[in-house]
A and B are shown apart, each in its own frame.
Chain A
Amino acid sequence: MDLSLTDDQVAILDAIDTLTRPYAGASLHEAGFALPDAQLDRDLAEGGFLDIGFDPDLGAVSAALVVERLARLPQTVEAAASALIRPLLGGDLPRPLCLVEEGRTTRPIRFLREGATVLLVGPSGVSTFTATAAQVRPEPEALYGYPMATLLTVPAERTLHAIPASEVLIRWRIALAAEAAGLLAAALDITVAHVTDRQQFGRPLATFQALRHRLAQAQVRANGVRWLALKAAATLDPGDAALAALHAQESARATVYDFHQFFGAMGVTLEHPLHLWTYRLKALVGDLRGRGGQGLAAAEALWG
């Protein structure tokens, strides 16, 4: 076992940091619930960062590291599905890649828009299609940290992919966990900064144990989600993937409310950027039937 990043992984993450540095100065105070950035998306795609999972030498662990790192940005980029699931499908499908579970196609879908690739996965297999304008209803009022849209119809004409749905679900769960790990870490960071600066009763909020212990527990959870996501990316085992996604969704549920609580009224304004991370976590909590869905998948994989 060697849990250090490889030299390649260090170089990739450094390159991402360099590429994304100019975006760190973006004004966050006028963002809505989500902060998509088409230029950042193009830069990442052209830099090949979303194709790392295609390289067998780098593989899913490196792709998960990229997803985790990008999720820390306030901007939202469709990286998780592209980096981790697209390698199963082939590289020529247009991005963004939108994941939809069979039987749940009427739910709001992240990044869905005209021209996006929609991947439908379920008992009848794995298929994709390119969304047309007529099939998509944008949801600009959605309370989520992603651009969301609803799929109005599922076309009968779809490209079938000869891969088991189970493989897609494994990678979906890893993608979810890796993204949640980055979101949890970033939300925790910004909350830590706030309670360190903010003074009440003549001392920083961070000196009150009622907050300290809850933030420490959030650290334990964020750390656990990251490690489970990376391990699942290494093994591609259905049980590891389901446990990682379960822990991610449970940890999002357990921490998001606290993060907002610790900001007081500031945390319920759109002027403060906290929601750019937490309202993405809220969207991930419902993926693949939520914690119950991950729990049942994990139980099936672990104990049959």
Chain B
Amino acid sequence: MDFDWTDQETAFRDRLRALLADTLPDDWERFSQHGPASPALTRYAESFCGTLAEQGLLIPHWPVELGGQGLDPWHQTILAEEMWIAGEPRGGQYMNVNWIGPTLIRYGSPDQQARYLPPIAEGKALWCQGFSEPGSGSDLASLRTRAERDGDQYRVTGQKIWTSYAGLADTCFLVCRTSDDRKRGISILLVPMDTPGITVRQIPSLIGEGDIHEVFFDDVIVPVTARLGDEGQAWEIIGYSLTNERLGIPRYALARAALDRAVSILKAQDEFDGEAVKIEAAHCAALTEAARMASYAIVDRRAKGEAIGAESSSARFATVMAERRVCEFIVEYLPEALADAHPYLKMHHQRGIVAGIAAGAAEIQLNIIATDVLKLPREPR
């Protein structure tokens, strides 16, 4: 067992930090309070991702033949940590490079790859994921948005909700129903968001401007060539996407950074002096570090080409525990942070509160742990 970073990994992290320090504007911490999906941050992300692309830091974990450098999952983790700690200046584009791109690389047709991969690699694309529906959240396979085949076209009708980035996205990774078979009746369409019949409505949210939307599909005509993979292959493809994204955002890293910032502010104000505040801060740190190590155990498996396994749900839940406790610590001991005194902590709070909801509810993670890690018999359905 070896818990040290290699020299190459440390140099990679240092390079990212130097680039962030050189590139981000002086008022970045205040600016980054705009949600990652806000118009302001989306516009900024285009220039920032362009800079990353020029430096070879946008898709370093992609294969060399597709413009990447074939760096391993440890580098991908370091990249994700440093960006998320910085307030995610890539905006919604982190999703492109983490899983949409790799999924297109695996399942996309040559035409789809030629059309969609270069803009992602140049930092000019913004995708949204059309997964959740009003009646289908955690139970994704119950989705009802319909794609009726009509010759060389699909006619799409239905509604998606909670869709991040939809307001400004250029393309939707749309999961829809092509037959009544619960899981094998689901297909994926890559749909340009300016296709006639698509209506987007923003839903004001607690987590920042531009983050949550409803998307309506009214007789949207999509060519069959826009289908990713085969008809009915969506469940398999989503499963593959999740192996690239199952750990999700490295939220433990920002939670720890926010905790450290909060402690340094409290110390400067002579308020880190009682036993209660110190002990509570330590509990927060124990949870962020437990989540970090549980996540690293999964990254280690990925780096060795092993199956990730259901333990990734354990790492996800550990991260939710950490996020929650750090959010609560800051509310309790630095209440002014939520009133704008400390933009970095406010930014963390807005992003942290969705840890147990976004990309798979915490309770679903617990179900997976119960069934697939502990091997408990399933609940009756």
Counting chain B CB atoms within 10 Å of each CB, which of A206, A230, A250 scores highest?
A206
Bound CA span A291–B283, Å: 9
CB-based contact B285/A302 at 8 Å: yes
Counting chain A CB atoms within 10 Å of each CB, which of B9, B278, B318 scores highest?
B278
Whether A219 touches B373, Cβ cut-off 8 Å, given contacts A1-B5, A2-B2, A296-B282, is yes
CB-based contact A234/B286 at 8 Å: no
Bound CA span A292–B304, Å: 39
Classify the secondary structure of B's interface with A. helix
Nearest B residue to A226 by beta-carbon distance? B293
The residue that A216 contacts in the complex, of B6, B297, B366, B378, with Cβ under 8 A, is B366
CB-based contact B376/A206 at 8 Å: yes
CB-based contact A224/B294 at 8 Å: yes
State which of A89-97, A150-158, A240-248 sits at the interface with chain B: A240-248
Q: Judge if A303 is at the interface, Cβ distance under 8 Å.
A: yes
Give A1-43 as 1s and 0s: 1 = Cβ < 8 Å from B's Cβ atoms: 1111110010000000000000000000000000000000000
Bound CA span A192–B285, Å: 29
The tally of residues in B whose CB lies under 8 Å from a CB in A reads: 51
Q: Which residues of A contact B297 (CB under 8 A)?
A: 3, 223, 227
Q: Which residues of A contact B1 (CB under 8 A)?
A: 2-6, 9, 61, 230, 234
Nearest B residue to A247 by beta-carbon distance? B286
Bound CA span A273–B310, Å: 29
Whether A216 touches B374, Cβ cut-off 8 Å, given contacts A243-B285, A298-B282, is yes
Q: Which residues of B contact A296 (CB under 8 A)?
A: 275, 278-279, 282
CB-based contact A295/B282 at 8 Å: yes
Q: Judge if B111 is at the interface, Cβ distance under 8 Å.
A: no
**Minimum distance in angstroms from B307 CB to a CB of chain A:** 14
CB-based contact A303/B281 at 8 Å: yes
CB-based contact B279/A220 at 8 Å: no
Bound CA span A103–B296, Å: 39
In the complex, besides A227-B290, A303-B281, 16 extra interface pairs with C-beta distance below 8 angstroms are A3-B1, A3-B300, A207-B379, A213-B363, A213-B370, A215-B370, A219-B374, A220-B318, A223-B314, A228-B293, A244-B286, A295-B278, A299-B278, A299-B279, A299-B282, A303-B267
Listed in ascending order, the chain A residues whose CB lies under 8 Å from chain B are 1-6, 9, 61, 188, 192, 195-196, 203-204, 206-209, 212-213, 215-217, 219-221, 223-225, 227-228, 230-231, 234-235, 240, 242-244, 246-247, 250, 291-292, 294-296, 298-300, 302-303
Cβ contacts A to B, 24 pairs, < 8 Å: A1-B6, A3-B1, A4-B1, A6-B1, A212-B379, A216-B314, A216-B317, A216-B367, A219-B369, A220-B314, A220-B321, A227-B297, A228-B293, A246-B286, A250-B283, A250-B286, A292-B279, A294-B282, A295-B278, A298-B286, A302-B263, A302-B285, A303-B264, A303-B272
